[in-house]
A and B are shown apart, each in its own frame.
Chain A
């Protein structure tokens, strides 16, 4: 199967919109001072937001089977910040990678079960 790739430019507004549907109130996603205190340069995006991008890409890559046999596993290895463009990629072997430029943010896999 072909590799799939898509870019997203992350904004604080997108993070806020995700926080609204996600229903959380974790200040690390919008409080600059708190985020800096925790060692980040800015508020961080929800990892699940980027995982949602990856799940949507999985649907494009695998079609109908994604909804009944899809399996996605992610490890959040670096923060996603507002005003960054990230690239979400699933390669031809189902390896998932999300990066902001040269900086890897998420690694994992998006594959079909029993797909060999």
Chain B
């Protein structure tokens, strides 16, 4: 079982990344984590869903957005976060269900796609990829966040 805090650098722990330091095209190194039934239950409680999971074809699975609690880890492991970051938007594409009954090990990686300024705010856009150990895709994501620096 991997709690997101186990793999995600937290705000205030290390000097945060300044916007100038993000490099477009930089690869966000892969890492793995394990989503256990306990993580699914806690996540489901946090989004007001049944902790046992969602019933799908006779088995229990997680609402696929459980991956979102690991999303920023993809970015922050290479670029530690500043306090006060705000998410502007994101996109998830789901390809495979995550069990709520058994552990699922996920390999995550990503890439910095773009940085830009708009109305006085500075943004970073990056992609994330989540796959099983055998390489089978579970989800893809893109996130845009702004940081106060």
Q: Which residues of A contact B (CB under 8 A)?
A: 8, 14, 17-18, 20-28, 34, 38, 44, 46-49, 51-53, 55-56, 59, 64, 66-76, 108, 113
Contacts and interface: CB of A to CB of B under 8 A. Distances in A.
B69 A56 contact: no
Given A73-B89, A76-B89, 17 more contacts: A14-B46, A21-B43, A22-B46, A23-B73, A26-B81, A27-B84, A34-B84, A47-B87, A52-B43, A53-B47, A56-B49, A56-B63, A59-B63, A64-B57, A68-B94, A71-B91, A74-B89
B48 A8 contact: yes
B4 to A, nearest CB: 3
A69 to B, nearest CB: 7
A115 B71 CA distance: 26
B148 interface: yes
Nearest to A6: B48
Contact of A48 (B69, B83, B84, B97): B69
